[in-house]
Every structure is written in structure tokens, then in C-alpha cells.
């Protein structure tokens, strides 16, 4: 059967399956008059569906629901628990589905109520209750949530689900012309949700476009786990694909509730359902997303489906077919293997294969020879190529050094031929070293990355060639070390590169800028500030490319931001934006980074409306350049979420951050710096919402990552520790708060100068808690240190000095020195107090000390 006819058959099946038996018979008769063969195929599908239903309990439920439907329909206005029915949405596999709202209007919320017509018998009601408990455990940002549940007056059970407004994933992608890589990243979000459910021992059983929506924010939402099957809770990992049983030997609510076009062969035969069945359905969904066609599963059970690339070529899409041919074909067809044992072992493995494809690394679904691996490297950056014996080779990530070689070889063919042995050596070195892993993309497994990098760093000295080659390799290797948090090794390689003689000026500047930014990241702020000031003076006096000068201005602004000098940071990032850059994609990307940092500087000054407007524009431009799920887009969205939080838009903040976290987990892995950073921001939002339990869980996830990867971002490590301490303080656990503030101070002490604002801020937090605990001697000494440092080094920091003055008044009051406390409070400028109007914590403390002194 050709794909177009199969799609028509699927649409007719979807329409017919919801009809009453008598209406369906008449409908089939009408169809037979116009297309008898198609009507016969449809009748066979419907019969197969009913036959499968006869073999399992779900079929009995479904048939009883059909008989009872007319008499048991819930009318608009009827109340079900705390909800009021609005209208019938349609029939689900186990009953009817309604749109409803909360009756008390305590908050505006529309919900979906699924009423299951179980028929007589308490046993089926008990089974449904067990199913409800299973669903209650599924809390994932890409899964529509179970909100409530219960039974009607006649003991008919119902579920209350989150109402998701969106478009099915296939229509969403087709209507917007979403490119292939974005479709795959969306699909990875589906995989993340299904893998999460499998980890909870739940299979979906009915994965199809109608159950995979993309909401208004671009987030995937997986619907209808109401027909999930409970896996045996004590199954060994290797037995999860071996046929399912329930936890206590009871049957769960499952059966023939499926869509044949997206069902696995074993489902269509009415056999037990496994996680492998979901993998098959995911393969069918991806097949359609990639090539726009459904697999014709009835053309011959043993016949291999045409590859997606073959269908794309038949449709005249040769360019898309070339992208899909080979690796992606192999990944999809493995998911569609008729034998469940030949499919991907887990959904996570399936998603990981797509990740390898997106990163242009060899997939495991297709045996890869040496020429295939080299071809993959060449695809990673089509703008850079190295001529090696007549074939094109590109090595990206760590091997951006090849860019320099490409330019040199392109301009000086004779020199390239003379250095052929050297370039062969370099190419072999890079392919051997990095074919197995790309640690710039993941922080989840640093030992493997470190092993590769350590081996490569030791081999660089063995390469023969000009110093530019060694310096460039050292620079890229240093960047790789930096991305896995090995800052000491990165710094050593940058220093080694800068010591090489006769380097081109532009290369020297690139290395010096990278090292200065590393110093900023690990808290060596004074060194970074001095280095960048020297570079700026030198670059302003030379005719070096303007991109380097703009980057120096921008990086200097970032140092000032960490030093909590946002006004100065704003001025320097505006200088970066004012540089006349050449018209190129690289310059556009630089400008987007500068725009993001300007918005950050505005936000730091509480100019949140300006910041939000600028973040919105930057994010729109980044999506145009990179696509919706690029890490750079997610970073700016996370900054935007912080501005939302600071303006009190907390629900909006949480929603955005949960989506960012989900996408970061797909791209970088659950245990990654990107996810840890988002967890910290998410915890801040929960903290502000006084959702302390959720805040602590998110803070602790972030903290656990930094404990395992202390060099990943030492500054953020210190800030997360401080935030967790603040949470304990707000919960009234002052002893625990003091211990965690002490950890934060120790981390800051290792990073920042003793007179720097980041260090002094952490010290002030500890002093505040020590005063409350009565540890006045230590608090007094530290407070004197703070006051002296602020006066000597930060006279313009009126907000910090106001905080220190309040601390001194609190210290006097706690020490029984009421007159001194009053005198200290009298020195506070009322205008400065007014500027702290939105700082509820400061206002509460000020009132408290004033009340004590009355």
C-alpha cells in the first residue's frame, strides 16, 4: 500500500473507531460504494482491534462503556467533586472525556475529567484506584499532570488531569516548517518523558501524535497515561522487556486501548505489552516526523519498511534525504525492528543515539568504518575543511585548530603539500583522541573526558610543525579542560601556549582573552581585571580586528558584574556594542552575547522592565540564528526568568524554568552544569513562593552537582551554598543556616579577595545569623572587618553600607547596648531606607530592632 493511501486509511480508522456499531456499519457501507478495497482494509483493521479487545480486560471495559454511554453522559453544569462540567470533549479508550473548571473559582483553572465506565464489580473499581495511584507518581514537566480523582455517586471512577492547550507534534512541525534538528530535539523531550515513566515502571501503550502536544511555550506535553500498564515492581532490569505483570499478580487496566497505526506488532497481536512496545511506537512517531509518512504495517509483516530517506527522495526532497540517509535511517529502523529484542534497549538509549546524530558522531545503530567516522567529523562544521590525501576532513570541538590549517593550506598549496606528513599526524591524533567522546557537550562523565584530554595534552609536544599549530591546539585543549571544570589544567595550557615564540598577534590575543575569562570564572578577579585592562589598552592602540576589542570590552564588563559593579559593567558592555564589527555571522553572534550581558547589567540595577524588553529581543534573535533549543537561547531565557522573579512574576518564572530545565537535561544530561544552574534559579523562585520543600530539593540537586564537580563553576558553587543557608534561615533553623553560611564563606574566601563585595556579602550573611544566635564576639570582629573594607574600597556601595549599618544596630541591641543601637539607627539616611522598600527582609529586620529599642 502506498504511503498516501495508508495515511487515508489511518484517518478513516480514527473516525470509525469512535462510532456506535450501527452507525459504523452504515458508514462502512457508504464507503464501500465509493472505494470497496479501502473499505475492506478498514473493516479488517476494525475487526483486528475488536478481536484484541476481546482478549483482555480493557476490551470488556470499553464495550460496557459503549453500551452505557448514552445513559451515563455528564451534562454541562453538573458537579464532579470540586469541579463543574463545561462540555464533552470526546470519547477516550475507557469512557468519556470532559472539559471542566473549579466550581469554587478559587483560582482559574480548566481541567480534563476522564470518567471510566467500568461496569459492575468492585474489582474493576479497585483496579482503577491502583491505576490512579500509579499516575500520581508521574511528575515530569513533559507529562500532563494528574490533579485529582475519585468516584461518582454510582461508584464510577474518574481522573482529573491537567488541561493542555496545544497542537499535536506532527501538525506543529509541519505547519511551522520546523527543521530536522529542531524536530529531533522536540522528539528527545518526548523520549525524556517516556523514559521517566518507564523508570517509574509505567508504560504508555498509546504513543501517537494526538497524545503528544506542543503547547504555546514550545514545550512538549505527553498526554493520556490513563491506559498505562504497571510493570512488575520487583523485576530485574534485564526482564523489563520480557512481558509484563502487575505488582501483586493482579491485572491492571490495559488491553486493546491503542491506535493500530502507532501500535507495535506485539500489541496488534494482543500480546503482553513491554517498554519495547513504547520504543516501537516512538519509532513510528519519529518516522512520520522525519519523512511525513506513516509506516504501512500491513504490507507484509516480514517486509522491511522503506527508509525515511528513500521516501524523502521519492517526494523530491533530495537535500533532506541526504541528511537522513545512513545514520538516522538506521536509528529509526532499529526502533522499528519486528523483534522487540532487536530494538533499542531503553528509550534513553534511543534518545542518546539521536544526540549522537545531532552532534555528528557515529551512532551505534549503524556499524561505522574509518571513512564513515571521518565523514561525520567533516559534517560538524562544513565551513572548515582540511585536505588530507584528497578527502575532506573536519574535526570540531577540540579541533578548531583545523580552521587555521585549512586557511594556511588553502592559500599556500605548496606549503600544505610539504607539510603533508605533519597534517596527517595531526588528523590521526585528533580522530583517535576524540572519536569516542566530546566532553564539551556533557559534564556527566568527567573521568572519561579527563582521560582523553590528559592523553592529548601529553601528545601535543610530539607534533612537529610551526608554533602556531601547537599554540592553537593548546588553546583548544585548554578550552576543553575548562568546559569539564578542570580549570587548573586549562590555565596551565593557556600559559604554555602564551610562552611559545613567534605567535601571530591575533592568536596571542585569543589565548590571553580566554585565559582572562577563565580567571574571572574561577574568582581570580584581580588578575582578570589587570589582564583585560592591558589588552584593551593594547588593542585600542593597534589595528587588530575589531572583534577582539569588542570581546575585551565585554569580558571586562563581566568581571565588573561579578564584582557587583553593575553601572560600570553596563558602560563597558555598551562600548562593546558600539564597536563597528564586520558584517558576518560571527559578529552577529558576538552582538547577541553583548546584548544578553547588557540586559543582565540592567537587571542587576533593578531596571527590570528595560532588562525584560532587551532579553525578549535577544532571545528572538538567538532563536533565528541558533534555533529554539540551543544552549545560548536557554541561557538568555534563564536570565529572563530571573528578571521575572525579581518583579514578582513567580508562577511565570517557575513555568519557564521548568521548561528550560527539561530541555537542558535532554541536551546536556541530568547531571550537568546547565541543569545545576537552572536548579538554582528554580529553587530561588520556589523560595520566594515559600514553597520551602521544593526549594530545598532543587537547591540540594544543584549543590550535589557542585560537590561532585567542584571546578565546574566555583562561584556558582558558593552562591548555591549561600542560597541553601538563606532557606534554612527563613525556615527558622538558625544553627543549620550558620553552618551552611560558614561553608559559603569558606568557598568565597578561596575565590575572592578579602575586600571584594562577593566575599563581604557572604560574610554579612553569616554575621546576621550569628547575631541571632548570640555569637556576638565573632560577629563583632567580622562586622568590623566588613565596615572597614566597605569604607576603604567601596565608598559608593550605599546599599551594602546600609546593610552593614543595620547589622551594627542589631549587634548593639543584642549586646544590651540600647543607646548605641539608637545612635547607629539615627545615622541611616531615610532616603536609603525608602530605596529598600521592595526588600521585605530588610524592612522586617529594621522594624524588629526598632521595636526592641522602644
Express each pLDDT in 314-342 by its tens digit.
888 777 787 888 889 889 999 998 888 88
pLDDT of residue 61: 39
Same domain? For 796 and 724 the reply is yes
Residue 333 falls within a domain, yes or no? yes
Q: Is 337 inside a domain boundary?
A: yes
pLDDT at 556: 95
**What pLDDT shows up at residue 459?**
59
- Please state the rounded mean pLDDT for residues 2-10: 59
- Give strand pairing partners of 84: 79, 101
Tell me which DSSP letter residue 581 carries: -
What HEC string does 274-305 produce? CHHHHHHHHHHHHHHHHHCCCCCCCCCCCCCC
- Name the more confident of 702 and 381: 702
Cα distance between residue 8 and residue 489, in whole Å: 60
158 and 203 part of one domain: no
Q: What is the DSSP string of 322-357?
A: HHHTTHHHHHHHHHT-SSGGGS-SSHHHHHHHHHHH
**Number of other CB atoms surrounding residue 181 within 10 Å:** 15
Beta partners for residue 161, in sequence order: 112, 146
Grade residue 46 by pLDDT with cuts at 50, 70 and 90.
Answer: confident
Report yes or no: 327 and 354 within 8 Å, Cβ to Cβ: no
**Do 1 and 299 contact (CB within 8 A), yes or no?**
yes
Q: What would the grid cell of residue 781 be?
A: 570582629
> Which comes out higher in pLDDT, residue 763 or 303?
763
The CATH number of the domain holding residue 309 is 1.10.510.10
Q: What is the pLDDT of residue 172?
A: 92
Q: Is the predicted pLDDT of residue 579 greater than 70, yes or no?
A: yes
Closest CA to 161 of 229, 260, 95, 62: 95
Closest C-alpha among 244, 249, 202, 201 to residue 224 = 202
For residue 769, give the CATH number of its domain: 1.25.40.10
Does 36 share its domain with 123? no
pLDDT (tens digit per residue) in 122-140: 655 665 666 666 667 778 8
Using CA atoms, how far residue 548 sits from 405, 479, 543, 580, 596, in Å, is: 21, 17, 11, 12, 18
Residue 167 — φ and ψ, nearest 5°? Answer: -120, 140
Please compute the mean of the pLDDT values over residues 63-85 and round it to a whole number.
Answer: 70
The whole-angstrom separation of Cα 753 and Cα 773 is 27
Q: Above 60 in pLDDT, residue 443?
A: no
CA separation for the pair 631, 640 (Å, rounded): 14
- Which three three-digit cell numbers place residue 458? 601529553
Q: In what order do the strands lie in the sheet with 146-151?
A: 79-80, 83-92, 95-102, 110-116, 157-162, 146-151
β-partners of residue 101 are 84, 110
Give residue 25's region: left, alpha or beta (phi > 0; psi -120 to 50).
Answer: alpha
Q: Give the domain-ending residue among 368, 386, 403.
A: 368
> Average pLDDT of 572-597?
92
- Is 54 catalytic? The answer is no
Q: Is residue 457 part of a domain?
A: no
- Contact (Cβ atoms closer than 8 angstroms) between residue 303 and residue 333: no
Mean pLDDT of the 552-556 span? 95
Contact predicate 724/686, CB 8 Å? no
pLDDT value for 793: 87
Distance CA 813, CA 819 (A): 9
Higher pLDDT, 179 or 252: 179
The x, y and z cell numbers of residue 397, run together, are 570541538
On whether both 92 and 144 belong to a single domain, the answer is: yes
Listing DSSP states for 75-106 in one string gives: PTT-EETTEEEEEEEEEETTEEEEEEEETT-S
What is the SS3 assignment for 469-499? HHHHHHHHHHHHHHHCCCHHHHHHHHHHHHC
Q: How confident is the model at residue 703 (pLDDT cuts 50, 70, 90)?
A: very high
Same domain, 652 and 681: yes
Rounded to the nearest 10°, the torsion over CA 588, 589, 590, 591 is 50
Is 752 a domain residue?
Answer: yes
Stretch among 337-351, 419-433, 585-599, 798-812 having the lowest mean pLDDT: 419-433
Establish if 570 belongs to a structural domain.
no
In a domain, 406, yes or no: no
Cα 650 to Cα 642, 646, 685, distances in angstroms: 9, 8, 6
Where residue 118 sits, what CATH number does that domain have?
3.30.200.20
- Please write the tens of the pLDDT for every residue from 215-270: 888 899 998 764 444 333 333 333 333 333 322 233 333 333 456 778 888 888 77
Number of structural domains the chain divides into: 4
Note the pLDDT of residue 39: 79
Please state, in angstroms and as integers, the Cα–Cα distance from residue 218 to each residue in 165, 613, 629, 660, following that order.
Answer: 11, 20, 10, 11
Q: How confident is the model at residue 817 (pLDDT cuts 50, 70, 90)?
A: very high
User: Has residue 272 got a pLDDT over 80?
Assistant: no
What is the model's pLDDT at position 99?
Answer: 92
Q: What is the pLDDT of residues 604-624, one digit of tens each?
A: 898 999 999 999 999 999 888
- More reliable by pLDDT, 842 or 780: 780
Query: Which among 715, 713, 737 has a CA at the least distance from the CA of 726?
Result: 737
Considering the domain architecture, whether residues 330 and 209 belong to the same structural domain is answered as yes
Interval 712-738 mean pLDDT: 91
Pick from 568, 528, 532: nearest CA to 550: 532
| 721 and 808 both lie in a single domain | yes
Q: Which of 14, 181, 206, 730 is catalytic?
A: 206
Sequence-ordered list of residues with C-beta below 8 angstroms from that of 562, at least 6 positions apart, any chain: 520, 523, 525, 715, 758
Closest to 360 in 3D by CA, of 327, 330, 312: 327
- The DSSP secondary structure of 127-190, one letter per residue, reads HHHHHHHHHHT---TTBPPEEEEEE-TTS-EEEEEE---EEEHHHHHHHHT--HHHHHHHHHHH
Could you tell me the pLDDT band of residue 313, with boundaries at 50, 70 and 90? confident
Lowest mean pLDDT among 173-182, 372-381, 495-504: 372-381
Q: Which domain holds residue 734?
A: 623-829
Mean pLDDT along residues 734-757: 89
pLDDT tens digits, one per residue of 649-667: 999 999 999 999 998 888 7
Domain boundary among 163, 190, 206: 163
**What cell does 671 get?**
547531571
Question: In Å, how far are 554, 632, 663 from 602, measured between CA atoms?
Answer: 14, 19, 27
Closest Cα to residue 483, out of 533, 532, 439?
Answer: 439
Q: What is the mean pLDDT of residues 364-390?
A: 40
**250 Rama sector, left if φ>0, alpha if ψ -120 to 50, beta otherwise:** beta
Per-residue pLDDT at 456 exceeds 60: yes
User: Is residue 827's pLDDT more than 70?
Assistant: yes
- Three-state secondary structure of 768-810: HHHHHHCCHHHHHHHHHHHHHHHHHHCCCCHHHHHHHHHHHHH
Instruction: Output the average pLDDT for the chain.
Output: 77
Cα–Cα distances (Å) from 330 to 305, 356, 378, in that order, read 12, 13, 20
Residues 200 and 274 in one domain: yes
Q: Closest by alpha carbon to 705, among 747, 676, 666?
A: 676
Q: Which residues pair with 345 in a beta bridge?
A: none
Residue 145 lies in a domain: yes
Predicted local distance difference test score (pLDDT) of residue 740: 95
In the chain, what is the straight-line distance between the N-terminal and C-terminal CA atoms, in Å?
A: 89
- How much of the chain exceeds pLDDT 90, in percent? 34
Measured distance CA(498)–CA(459) in Å, rounded: 18
d(CA 205, CA 67) in angstroms, rounded, equals 24
Rg over CA atoms, the chain: 31
Residues 91 and 42 in one domain: no
Considering the domain architecture, whether residues 635 and 773 belong to the same structural domain is answered as yes
What predicted TM-score, i.e. pTM, was given to this entire model?
A: 0.49
Q: Are 275 and 241 in contact (CB under 8 A)?
A: yes
Average pLDDT over residues 442-459: 54
Residues 183 and 147 in one domain: no
What proportion of the chain, given as a percentage, has pLDDT over 70?
Answer: 74
Residue 254 Ramachandran class (φ > 0 left, ψ -120 to 50 alpha, else beta): beta
Q: How many angstroms separate the CA atoms of 285 and 186, rounded?
A: 12
Residue 114 labelled as part of a binding site: yes
Q: Is residue 147 part of a domain?
A: yes
CA-closest candidate to residue 721, choices 687, 747, 744, 701: 744
**Helix, strand, coil fractions of the chain, as percent rounded to 5:** 65, 5, 30
Mark which of 119, 146, 163 sits at the end of a domain: 163
- Phi-psi region for residue 501, left (φ > 0), alpha (ψ -120 to 50) or beta? beta
- Which H or E run includes 215? strand 212-215
Say whether both 175 and 265 belong to one domain. yes
Amino acid at each position: 500500500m502506498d504511503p498516501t493511501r495508508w495515511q487515508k486509511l489511518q484517518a478513516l480508522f480514527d473516525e470509525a473507531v469512535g462510532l456506535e456499531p450501527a452507525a459504523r456499519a452504515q458508514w462502512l457501507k457508504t464507503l464501500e460504494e465509493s472505494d470497496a478495497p479501502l473499505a475492506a482494509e478498514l473493516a479488517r483493521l476494525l475487526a483486528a482491534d475488536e478481536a484484541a479487545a476481546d482478549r483482555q480486560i480493557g476490551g470488556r471495559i470499553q464495550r460496557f462503556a459503549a453500551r452505557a454511554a448514552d445513559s451515563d453522559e455528564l451534562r454541562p453544569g453538573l458537579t464532579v467533586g470540586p469541579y463543574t462540567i463545561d462540555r464533552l470533549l470526546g470519547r477516550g479508550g475507557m469512557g468519556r472525556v470532559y472539559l471542566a473548571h473549579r466550581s469554587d473559582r478559587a483560582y482559574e483553572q480548566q481541567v480534563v475529567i476522564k470518567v471510566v465506565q467500568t461496569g459492575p464489580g468492585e474489582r474493576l473499581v479497585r483496579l482503577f484506584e491502583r491505576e490512579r495511584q500509579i499516575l500520581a507518581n508521574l511528575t515530569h514537566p513533559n507529562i500532563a499532570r494528574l490533579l485529582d480523582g475519585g468516584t461518582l455517586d454510582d461508584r464510577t471512577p474518574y481522573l482529573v488531569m491537567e488541561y493542555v492547550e496545544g497542537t499535536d507534534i506532527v501538525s506543529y512541525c509541519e505547519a511551522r516548517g520546523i527543521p530536522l534538528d529542531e524536530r529531533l530535539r522536540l522528539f528527545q523531550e518526548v523520549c525524556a518523558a517516556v523514559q521517566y515513566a518507564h523508570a517509574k515502571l509505567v508504560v504508555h501503550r498509546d504513543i501517537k501524535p494526538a497524545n503528544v502536544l506542543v503547547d504555546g511555550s514550545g514545550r512538549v506535553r505527553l498526554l493520556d497515561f490513563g491506559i498505562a500498564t504497571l510493570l512488575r515492581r520487583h523485576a530485574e532490569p534485564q526482564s523489563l522487556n520480557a512481558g509484563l505483570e502487575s505488582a501483586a499478580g493482579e491485572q491492571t487496566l490495559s488491553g486493546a486501548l491503542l491506535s493500530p497505526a502507532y501500535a507495535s506488532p506485539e500489541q496488534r497481536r494482543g500480546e503482553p505489552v513491554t517498554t519495547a512496545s513504547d520504543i516501537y511506537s516512538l519509532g513510528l512517531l519519529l518516522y512520520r516526523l522525519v519523512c511525513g509518512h506513516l509506516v504501512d504495517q500491513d504490507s507484509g509483516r516480514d517486509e522491511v519498511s522503506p527508509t525515511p530517506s528513500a521516501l524523502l527522495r521519492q517526494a523530491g526532497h533530495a537535500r533532506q534525504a541526504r541528511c537522513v540517509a545512513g545514520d538516522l535511517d538506521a536509528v529509526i529502523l532499529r526502533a522499528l525492528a519486528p523483534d522487540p529484542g532487536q530494538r533499542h534497549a531503553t528509550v534513553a538509549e534511543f534518545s542518546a543515539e539521536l544526540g549522537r546524530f545531532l552532534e555528528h558522531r557515529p551512532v551505534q545503530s549503524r556499524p561505522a568504518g574509518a571513512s564513515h567516522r571521518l565523514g561525520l567529523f567533516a559534517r560538524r562544521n562544513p565551513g572548515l575543511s582540511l585536505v588530507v590525501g584528497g578527502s575532506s576532513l573536519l574535526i570540531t570541538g577540540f579541533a578548531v585548530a583545523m580552521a587555521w590549517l585549512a586557511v594556511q593550506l588553502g592559500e599556500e598549496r605548496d606549503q600544505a603539500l610539504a607539510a603533508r606528513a605533519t597534517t596527517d599526524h595531526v588528523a590521526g591524533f585528533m580522530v583517535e583522541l576524540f572519536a569516542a567522546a566530546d566532553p564539551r557537550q556533557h559534564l556527566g562523565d568527567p573521568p572519561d573526558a579527563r582521560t582523553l584530554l590528559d592523553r592529548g595534552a601529553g601528545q601535543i609536544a610530539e607534533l612537529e610543525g610551526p608554533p602556531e599549530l601547537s599554540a592553537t591546539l593548546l588553546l583548544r585543549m585548554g578550552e576543553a579542560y575548562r568546559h569539564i571544570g578542570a580549570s587548573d589544567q586549562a590555565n596551565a595550557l593557556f600559559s604554555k601556549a602564551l610562552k611559545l615564540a613567534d605567535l601571530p598577534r591575533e592568536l596571542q590575543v585569543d589565548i590571553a582573552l580566554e585565559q582572562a575569562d577563565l580567571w574571572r570564572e574561577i574568582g581570580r578577579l584581580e588578575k582578570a581585571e589587570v589582564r583585560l585592562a592591558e589588552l584593551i589598552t593594547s588593542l585600542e592602540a593597534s589595528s587588530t580586528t575589531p572583534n577582539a576589542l569588542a570581546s575585551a570590552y565585554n569580558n571586562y564588563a563581566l568581571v565588573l558584574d561579578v564584582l557587583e559593579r553593575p553601572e560600570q559593567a553596563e558602560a563597558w558592555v555598551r562600548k562593546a556594542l558600539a564597536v563597528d564589527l564586520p558584517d558576518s555571522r560571527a559578529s552577529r553572534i558576538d552582538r547577541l552575547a553583548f546584548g544578553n550581558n547588557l540586559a543582565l547589567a540592567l537587571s542587576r540595577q533593578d531596571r527590570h522592565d528595560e532588562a525584560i524588553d532587551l532579553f525578549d529581543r535577544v532571545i528572538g534573535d538567538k532563536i533565528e540564528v541558533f534555533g529554539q533549543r540551543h544552549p545560548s537561547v536557554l541561557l538568555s531565557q534563564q536570565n529572563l526568568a530571573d528578571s521575572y522573579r525579581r518583579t514578582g512574576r513567580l508562577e511565570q518564572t517557575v513555568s519557564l524554568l521548568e521548561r528550560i530545565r527539561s530541555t537542558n537535561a535532554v541536551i546536556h544530561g541530568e547531571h550537568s552544569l546547565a541543569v545545576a544552574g537552572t536548579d538554582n534559579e528554580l529553587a530561588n523562585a520556589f523560595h520566594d513562593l515559600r514553597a520551602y520543600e521544593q526549594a530545598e530539593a532543587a537547591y540540594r540537586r544543584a549543590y550535589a552537582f557542585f560537590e561532585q564537580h567542584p571546578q565546574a563553576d566555583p562561584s556558582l558553587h558558593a552562591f548555591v551554598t549561600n542560597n541553601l543557608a538563606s532557606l534554612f534561615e527563613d525556615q527558622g533553623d538558625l544553627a543549620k543556616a550558620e553552618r551552611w553560611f560558614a561553608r559559603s564563606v569558606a568557598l568565597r574566601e578561596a575565590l575572592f579577595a578579602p575586600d571584594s563585595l562577593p566575599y563581604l556579602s557572604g560574610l554579612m550573611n553569616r554575621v546576621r545569623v550569628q547575631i541571632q544566635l548570640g555569637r556576638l564576639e565573632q560577629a563583632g570582629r567580622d562586622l568590623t572587618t566588613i565596615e572597614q573594607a566597605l569604607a576603604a574600597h567601596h565608598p559608593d556601595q550605599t546599599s551594602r553600607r546600609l546593610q552593614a549599618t543595620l547589622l551594627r544596630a542589631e549587634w548593639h541591641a543584642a549586646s544590651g547596648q540600647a543607646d548605641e543601637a539608637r545612635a547607629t539607627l539615627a545615622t541611616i539616611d531615610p532616603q536609603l531606607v525608602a530605596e529598600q522598600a521592595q526588600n521585605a527582609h530588610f524592612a522586617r529586620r529594621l522594624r524588629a530592632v526598632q521595636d526592641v529599642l522602644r
